[in-house]
Amino acid sequence: MMRNIHFFNLAPGADEKRVLELWDGPIAEFALARGCLERRTLKLHDARYDSGTGADAFEPAQFMNESLWPDLASAEACWSQDATEDFTAARAELEPMVVMVGGMRYNTP
């Protein structure tokens, strides 16, 4: 199993409710129909600030979107398929409302 995680913040003026509707609605539906086993978006309440200073300091993300896939190949195959009209519209609406902070992929036993 492989987990894919995106950490993100809301862009200034973004509607939090709408962002979550898009992540967990048409974006999730597209992935779940193409091999994704599970998806969810979480609001992070206990993230910690880095104690570094200057260029090494960072502010933690406000949100985390997580998906579970059978393997890396399945996840990559999903995003190489033709996008549906609903997915394309949702992604276009979502992109200016989020600021991606980072991401990671890891395998689970």
Distance from chain centroid for Cα 5: 6
Integer CA distances (angstroms), 16 to 37, 94, 99, in order? 25, 11, 12
Task: Say what the pTM is.
Answer: 0.84
Mean pLDDT by 10 residues, the chain (109 residues): 94 96 96 96 77 63 94 92 94 96 89
Burial 3-20 (b: 16+ CB within 10 A, else e): bbebbbbeeeeeeeeebb
Please report the DSSP string for 29-62 in residue order: HHHHTTT--EEEEEE-SS-------GGG--PPPS
